[in-house]
Amino acid sequence: NVPKEQKAQVIEKTGGPVEFKTIPVQQPGSDEVLVNIKFSGVCHTDLHAVNGDWPLATKLPLVGGHEGAGIVVAKGENVHDIEIGDHAGVKWLNGSCLQCDFCQQSDEPLCAKALLSGYTVDGTFQQYCIAKAAHVARIPKDVPLDAIAPVLCAGITVYKGLKESGAKPGQWVAIVGAGGGLGSLAQQYAKAMGLRIIAIDTGDEKEKMCLEKLGAEHFVDFAKSKNVVKDVQAATPDGLGPHAVLLVAVNEKPFQQAAEYVRPRGSVVCIGLPAGAYLKAPVFESVIKMITIKGSYVGNRKDSAEAIDFYRRGLISAPFKVVGLSELQSVYDKMHRGEIAGRYVLDTSK
């Protein structure tokens, strides 16, 4: 008893606006499932998609969203390893070819034929969403669907980024953009992995959240600090700076600054995707400090399963606010102003 029509948030043209309307429910293809999305997180990537910030076109009209948690309600005839009634997550990586060089090495985010939820295919800001069965996240039934939604992009991405950083238990990681969706989850994963945290963001609300709820030992307010580089280095006991930096801010400045405060032998992991931004690092210091600068892009199916399992084991708790799907535009407005501490999650029934 899947309905013929549903509510969705749709953009007709790049730049928006996003319109709350009734659209048809699609049927899954032979290798796909139809997921009744109960909750969907709102990632800054969704706002980049509306605004056309990146050198990659979206489909139009577009239903955004890629942190969708719900229940499988229909499946194609070739889908045998997930059942109707199972809980599932629709991630950014909606599908990939499973055959190319990258897919064979479980680097499926690098697949040239990857389908991207809420970008090149319709995503989770609707009540019924299609995804390739091979790629939907399996969500255990004892995990709440509202709280797991942000894990499906933000959680997986920062967990992968922390692994890519090479930081080891006991070492220091600076999280830049710590008060946002990715940053708040990054602190919880870092803590669970035994890392020590320097949070960088701005404002009293985010500072309090990072220090009191998420596990940061230091907070550097980039808007108040007279010298961010010095303050970040001073936060480590020997003053030599953090072993790793996770850049999840939506601003070019920290991408041009992190190489200065990272510790010798340390790594700078770029995750945030500010429009038109470039990386910058002094060659001399980069060489004599032997630093690594790299990108990290979501995670593969195994990273996804592991990130969900961290949550299931009670290791991850980050603040989120639930509002109706109908209120997406107001969430975008707050996000644009940098006013969201943590994540917003949309309830698709409202």
Q: From the CB of 5, what's the least distance to ligand 8ID, in Å?
A: 30
8 A C-beta contact, residue 22 and residue 10: no
1 sits in which H/E element: none
- In the bound state with ligand 8ID, the residue whose beta carbon lies nearer, of 251 and 326, is 251
Give the footprint of ligand 8ID on this chain (CB under 6 A): 43-45, 48, 153, 157, 176-177, 179-183, 200-202, 222, 248-251, 253-254, 271-274, 296-298, 335, 338, 340
Cα–Cα distance, 216 to 188 (Å, whole number): 9
Check binding of 129 to Zn ion (CB under 5 A).
no
Determine the residue type at 346. Answer: L
The DSSP string of 145-179 is: HHHHGGGGTHHHHHHHHHHHHT--TT-EEEEETTT
Cα–Cα distance, 288 to 265 (Å, whole number): 9
Return the SS3 of 64. coil
Residue nearest to Zn ion (CB): 43
- In the bound state with ligand 8ID, the residue whose beta carbon lies nearer, of 25 and 175, is 175
Q: From the CB of 41, what's the least distance to Zn ion, in Å?
A: 8
Nearest to 209, CA basis, from 167, 179, 245, 177: 179
What binding mask, one character per residue, do residues 29-58 give for Zn ion by CB under 5 A, x or -? --------------x-x-------------
- In the bound state with ligand 8ID, the residue whose beta carbon lies nearer, of 72 and 246, is 246
Return the SS3 of 236. coil
Q: From the CB of 25, what's the least distance to Zn ion, in Å?
A: 24
Cα–Cα distance, 126 to 39 (Å, whole number): 10
- In the bound state with Zn ion, the residue whose beta carbon lies nearer, of 153 and 178, is 153
What binding mask, one character per residue, do residues 136-175 give for Zn ion by CB under 5 A, x or -? -----------------x----------------------
